[in-house]
């Protein structure tokens, strides 16, 4: 499989504190990599560093072999790397449409309108609410809007930060069904940060485990679908009570 993104020896510091160190991972074209770990393990920091939202203290990031380590966040969006933050961070007082427009800020008007129609064609739940302020949407609809806003940029790699947070299981399933439809159409690749083990294993090709700012290990998701293997991996990498099994 062709490699899309490679991260090598990534280190991020917040002031004097090292948040993550020695992080390495590879995402293949159309692939999904899951990143599992407890609160504070450093998962969001890895996504933010890849997206250019926090500075990299050390390490390299390559996109199709090209070194993109020092590109800023705007340049990375143009290159197709788009981050969907934890907690959605849509703009509550702007309408659904206006929030989508923000995601396509760098596009010409015609492309933006075309993308908007595509996004609303996928997320039909919010299509009828285009003029509503975003705060009126339910949690699941807000998550769809956050992902839709990211899709406006036409990403090749979506960095999804805990999309299941605060959502009922049925809604989580709906959000992921939509994402599957997008992936089938566009060949989108993803890095998925989660605390929900089952969900991550179901949608990922490979899963990385993090603790204390370090990568503890990597497993093929297919290996983890057996209940015994799942329990063994949780015990080995995560510890009881740290993730939703």
Ligand X SMILES: Nc1ncnc2c1ncn2[C@@H]1O[C@H](COP(=O)(O)OP(=O)(O)OP(=O)(O)O)[C@@H](O)[C@H]1O
- Residues in contact with ligand X by the rule CB under 6 A: 14, 19, 37, 39-45, 86
Residue 2 or 39: which CB sits closer to ligand X? 39
Backbone torsions φ then ψ of 8, nearest 5 degrees: -130, 130
Q: Which is nearer to ligand X, 44 or 196 (CB)?
A: 44
Q: What's the closest the beta carbon of residue 19 comes to ligand X, in angstroms? A: 4
Nearer to ligand X, 43 or 156 (CB): 43
Smallest gap from Cβ 209 to ligand X, in A, equals: 11
* Cβ proximity to ligand X, 81 vs 119, nearer residue: 81
Nearest approach, Cβ of residue 34 and ligand X (Å):
13
CB of 214 to ligand X, least distance (A): 11
Angle at 144 between CA 46 and CA 94, to 5 degrees: 100
- Specify the length of the chain in residues: 245
**Least CB distance to ligand X at residue 125 (A):** 26
The CA distance from 32 to 189, in Å, is: 6
**Structure-block tokens of residue 158:** 């979506």
For ligand X, the closer CB: 17 or 110: 17
Tokens 């590879």 correspond to 26
Residue 79 CB, shortest distance to ligand X, in Å, is 22
**Range 241-244, long-range pairs (CB < 8 A, 24+ positions):** 242/37, 242/38, 242/195, 243/36, 243/37, 243/38, 243/195, 243/196, 243/197, 244/195, 244/196, 244/197, 244/198
Q: Which is nearer to ligand X, 20 or 206 (CB)?
A: 20
DSSP secondary structure letter of residue 140: H
Tell me the CA distances in angstroms from 223 to 180, 204, 230, one per residue in order: 21, 11, 8
Is 31 in a helix, a strand, or coil? coil
β-strands 189-194, 32-37: how paired? parallel
């Amino acid at each position: 499989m062709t490699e899309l993104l490679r991260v090598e020896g990534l280190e991020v510091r917040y002031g004097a504190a090292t948040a993550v160190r020695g992080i390495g991972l590879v995402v293949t074209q159309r692939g999904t990599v899951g990143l599992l770990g407890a609160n504070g393990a450093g998962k969001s920091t890895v996504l933010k560093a890849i997206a250019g939202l926090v500075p990299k203290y050390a390490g390299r990031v390559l996109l199709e072999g090209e070194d993109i380590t020092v590109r800023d966040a705007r340049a990375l969006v143009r290159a197709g790397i788009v981050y969907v933050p934890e907690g959605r961070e849509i703009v509550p007082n702007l309408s659904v449409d206006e929030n989508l427009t923000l995601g396509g800020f760098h596009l010409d008007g015609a492309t933006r309108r075309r993308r908007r129609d595509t996004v609303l064609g996928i997320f039909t739940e919010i299509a009828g609410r285009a003029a509503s302020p975003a705060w009126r949407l339910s949690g699941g609809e807000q998550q769809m809007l956050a992902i839709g806003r990211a899709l406006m940029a036409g990403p090749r790699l979506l960095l999804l930060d805990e999309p299941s947070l605060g959502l009922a299981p049925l809604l989580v399933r709906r959000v992921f069904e939509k994402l599957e439809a997008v992936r089938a159409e566009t060949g989108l690749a993803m890095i998925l940060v989660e605390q929900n083990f089952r969900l991550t294993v179901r949608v990922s090709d490979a899963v990385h485990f993090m603790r204390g700012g370090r990568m503890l290990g990597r497993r093929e998701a297919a290996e983890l679908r057996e209940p015994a293997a799942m329990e063994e991996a949780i015990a080995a990498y995560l510890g009881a009570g740290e993730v939703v099994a």
